[in-house]
A and B are shown apart, each in its own frame.
Chain A
Amino acid sequence: MNITRRNWFRWAGASSLLPLAALAERATAQDHDIHAEPTGAPRMTPPTSGAPGLTPVRTLNGWTLPHRMIGSVKEFHLVAEEVEHEFAPGSRAKCWGYNGTTPGPTIEAVEGDRVRILVTNRLPEHTTIHWHGILLPSGMDGVGGLSQPHIAPGETYAYEFTLRQNGTHMYHPHADEMVQLAVGMMGMFIIHPRGGEPQRIDRDYAFLLHNWALHPGTYRPDPAIMQEFDLWTFNSKVFPAIEPLLARTGERVRIRVGNLSMWNHPIHLHGVQFHVTGGDGGRWPRSLWRSEATETIAVGQTRDLEFVAVPGDWALHCHMSHHTMNAMGHTVANPLGVKRGELDEAVRRMLPGYMSMGEAGMAEHQEHADMGHIQGPENTLQMLGGQGAFGNLEMGGMFTVVKVRDDQAPGDYREPDWYLNPRGTLAQRVSNDADFGAPVRRGHKAQSVPPLESMSVDHLKMKYGS
Chain B
Amino acid sequence: MKILIRAAVLTAALVSGAGCAVVPIDRATDNVAKRVDERVGAAPQWAPDTGEANAEAAPQFETPMTLSAALKLAFTRNPGIHRLYARLGSAHADLQEAARIANPTLSFAWLDPSNGGRDQTKQGISATFADLLLLSSRRRLSTAEFRRLELTVAADLVALAREVEATWYAHLGALQIAAMRDAVAQAAENEAALAQRYYEAGNINRLQLDLQTAAAARARIDALRAQSNAAASRAGLARLLGLRADAAWQTIDRLPAPPEVPLPGDKLLPQALNQRLDLAAVRDEVSILEDSLGVTKNWRLLGSVEAGYESEREPDGSKLRGPKLIFELPLFNQGQGAVERAEARLLDARARRDALVRDVENEVSTGIERVTIARDITDRYRDSLVPSAASAVARRQERVNFMLDGVFELIRAKRDEYEAWQAYFESVRDYWIARTALRAAVGGSLPGDEEAGASTIGVDEIEHMDQGEQP
Q: Is the pair A354, B202 in contact by a Cβ cutoff of 8 Å?
A: no
**Nearest Cβ in chain A — how far from B54, in angstroms?**
46
**Nearest Cβ in chain B — how far from A396, in angstroms?**
11
**Nearest Cβ in chain A — how far from B14, in angstroms?**
81
The answer to the question of A329 belonging to the interface, with a C-beta cut-off of 8 Å to chain B, is yes
Binds A, one of B26-34, B58-66, B362-370, B394-402: B394-402
The answer to the question of B277 belonging to the interface, with a C-beta cut-off of 8 Å to chain A, is no
Q: Which of A350, A356, A358, A380 has the most CB of B within 10 A?
A: A350
In the bound complex, what is the Cα–Cα distance between A374 and B410 (angstroms)? 15
Chain A contacts of B402 at CB under 8 A? Answer: 216, 327-328, 365, 369, 374, 376-377, 380, 382-383
Q: Is the pair A338, B398 in contact by a Cβ cutoff of 8 Å?
A: no
**Nearest Cβ in chain B — how far from A353, in angstroms?**
4
The answer to the question of A461 belonging to the interface, with a C-beta cut-off of 8 Å to chain B, is no
Digitize B185-207: 1 where CB-to-A-CB distance is under 8 Å, 0 elsewhere: 01100100110011111111010
- How many residues of A are in contact with the other chain, CB < 8 A? 43
Candidates B194, B199, B204, B408; contact of A340 at CB < 8 Å: B194
Q: Is the pair A333, B203 in contact by a Cβ cutoff of 8 Å?
A: yes
The answer to the question of B407 belonging to the interface, with a C-beta cut-off of 8 Å to chain A, is yes
Chain B contacts of A375 at CB under 8 A? Answer: 398, 401
A333-B203, A346-B193 are known contacts. Are A351 and B393 too (CB-CB below 8 A)?
Answer: yes
A337-B202, A338-B203, A352-B466 are known contacts. Are A332 and B414 too (CB-CB below 8 A)?
Answer: no
The answer to the question of B404 belonging to the interface, with a C-beta cut-off of 8 Å to chain A, is yes
The answer to the question of B326 belonging to the interface, with a C-beta cut-off of 8 Å to chain A, is no
The answer to the question of B405 belonging to the interface, with a C-beta cut-off of 8 Å to chain A, is yes
The answer to the question of A3 belonging to the interface, with a C-beta cut-off of 8 Å to chain B, is no
The answer to the question of A420 belonging to the interface, with a C-beta cut-off of 8 Å to chain B, is no
Q: Is the pair A358, B403 in contact by a Cβ cutoff of 8 Å?
A: yes
In the bound complex, what is the Cα–Cα distance between A341 and B400 (angstroms)? 18
Chain A contacts of B198 at CB under 8 A? Answer: 333-335, 338
Chain A contacts of B393 at CB under 8 A? Answer: 351
Chain A contacts of B193 at CB under 8 A? Answer: 343, 346
**Nearest Cβ in chain B — how far from A222, in angstroms?**
15
Q: Is the pair B194, A343 in contact by a Cβ cutoff of 8 Å?
A: yes
A329-B399, A337-B203 are known contacts. Are A343 and B404 too (CB-CB below 8 A)?
Answer: no
In the bound complex, what is the Cα–Cα distance between A377 and B190 (angstroms)? 25
In the bound complex, what is the Cα–Cα distance between A336 and B197 (angstroms)? 11
The answer to the question of B275 belonging to the interface, with a C-beta cut-off of 8 Å to chain A, is no
The answer to the question of B18 belonging to the interface, with a C-beta cut-off of 8 Å to chain A, is no
Candidates A339, A354, A380, A383; contact of B197 at CB < 8 Å: A339
Total A-B residue contacts, Cβ distance less than 8 Å: 126
Chain A contacts of B401 at CB under 8 A? Answer: 355, 368-369, 374-376
A337-B203, A347-B411, A377-B398 are known contacts. Are A332 and B190 too (CB-CB below 8 A)?
Answer: no
In the bound complex, what is the Cα–Cα distance between A349 and B190 (angstroms)? 11
Q: Is the pair B406, A329 in contact by a Cβ cutoff of 8 Å?
A: yes
Q: Is the pair B404, A377 in contact by a Cβ cutoff of 8 Å?
A: yes
Q: Is the pair A339, B405 in contact by a Cβ cutoff of 8 Å?
A: no
A333-B203, A449-B201 are known contacts. Are A350 and B190 too (CB-CB below 8 A)?
Answer: yes
The answer to the question of A362 belonging to the interface, with a C-beta cut-off of 8 Å to chain B, is yes
Chain A contacts of B202 at CB under 8 A? Answer: 337, 448-449
The answer to the question of A217 belonging to the interface, with a C-beta cut-off of 8 Å to chain B, is yes
A343-B193, A347-B411, A352-B467 are known contacts. Are A332 and B405 too (CB-CB below 8 A)?
Answer: yes
Q: Which of A216, A338, A343, A351 has the most CB of B within 10 A?
A: A351
Q: Is the pair A347, B407 in contact by a Cβ cutoff of 8 Å?
A: yes
In the bound complex, what is the Cα–Cα distance between A376 and B394 (angstroms)? 10
Please, which residue of chain A has its CB at the minimum distance from the CB of B406?
A: A332
The answer to the question of A357 belonging to the interface, with a C-beta cut-off of 8 Å to chain B, is yes
Chain B contacts of A374 at CB under 8 A? Answer: 401-402
Digitize A190-228: 1 where CB-to-B-CB distance is under 8 Å, 0 elsewhere: 000000000000000000000000001100000000000
In the bound complex, what is the Cα–Cα distance between A383 and B154 (angstroms)? 72
In the bound complex, what is the Cα–Cα distance between A328 and B466 (angstroms)? 25
The answer to the question of A452 belonging to the interface, with a C-beta cut-off of 8 Å to chain B, is yes
Q: Is the pair B199, A452 in contact by a Cβ cutoff of 8 Å?
A: yes
Chain A contacts of B187 at CB under 8 A? Answer: 350
Q: Is the pair B467, A353 in contact by a Cβ cutoff of 8 Å?
A: yes
Q: Is the pair A335, B190 in contact by a Cβ cutoff of 8 Å?
A: no
Please, which residue of chain B has its CB at the minimum distance from the CB of A341?
A: B197
Chain B contacts of A378 at CB under 8 A? Answer: 398
Q: Is the pair B403, A340 in contact by a Cβ cutoff of 8 Å?
A: no
Q: Is the pair B405, A217 in contact by a Cβ cutoff of 8 Å?
A: no
Q: Is the pair B467, A351 in contact by a Cβ cutoff of 8 Å?
A: yes
**Nearest Cβ in chain B — how far from A461, in angstroms?**
18
The answer to the question of B463 belonging to the interface, with a C-beta cut-off of 8 Å to chain A, is yes
Chain A contacts of B200 at CB under 8 A? Answer: 338-339, 448-449
Chain B contacts of A362 at CB under 8 A? Answer: 403
In the bound complex, what is the Cα–Cα distance between A351 and B395 (angstroms)? 12
Chain B contacts of A352 at CB under 8 A? Answer: 464, 466-467
Candidates A335, A341, A355, A383; contact of B203 at CB < 8 Å: A335
In the bound complex, what is the Cα–Cα distance between A355 and B467 (angstroms)? 12
A328-B403, A358-B403, A449-B202 are known contacts. Are A333 and B197 too (CB-CB below 8 A)?
Answer: no
Chain B contacts of A333 at CB under 8 A? Answer: 198, 203-204, 406-408
In the bound complex, what is the Cα–Cα distance between A461 and B454 (angstroms)? 53
Q: Which of A216, A217, A347, A382 has the most CB of B within 10 A?
A: A347
Q: Is the pair A336, B404 in contact by a Cβ cutoff of 8 Å?
A: no
**Nearest Cβ in chain B — how far from A218, in angstroms?**
12
Q: Is the pair A217, B407 in contact by a Cβ cutoff of 8 Å?
A: no
Chain A contacts of B209 at CB under 8 A? Answer: 452
Chain A contacts of B404 at CB under 8 A? Answer: 216, 327-329, 332, 376-377, 380
Chain A contacts of B466 at CB under 8 A? Answer: 352-353
Within B365-401, the residues touching A (CB, 8 Å) are 393-395, 397-401
**Nearest Cβ in chain A — how far from B387, in angstroms?**
17
In the bound complex, what is the Cα–Cα distance between A332 and B396 (angstroms)? 12
Digitize A373-390: 1 where CB-to-B-CB distance is under 8 Å, 0 elsewhere: 011111010110000000
Chain A contacts of B203 at CB under 8 A? Answer: 333-338
Q: Is the pair B204, A339 in contact by a Cβ cutoff of 8 Å?
A: no
Candidates A332, A343, A347, A350; contact of B403 at CB < 8 Å: A332
Give A residues with C-beta under 8 Å from B. Answer: 216-217, 327-329, 332-341, 343, 346-347, 349-358, 362, 365, 368-369, 374-378, 380, 382-383, 448-449, 452
- Pick the 5 closest A-B CB pairs, nearest first: A376-B402, A374-B401, A332-B406, A329-B404, A338-B201
A-B contact pairs, 11 of them (CB 8 A): A216-B402, A328-B403, A328-B404, A334-B204, A347-B194, A350-B463, A352-B467, A369-B401, A376-B398, A383-B402, A449-B200
**Known contacts A356-B407, A375-B398, A376-B401; 20 further A-B pairs (Cβ under 8 A):** A216-B399, A216-B402, A328-B402, A328-B403, A332-B403, A333-B204, A334-B204, A337-B203, A338-B194, A338-B197, A347-B411, A350-B190, A354-B400, A365-B402, A369-B401, A374-B401, A383-B402, A448-B200, A448-B202, A449-B201
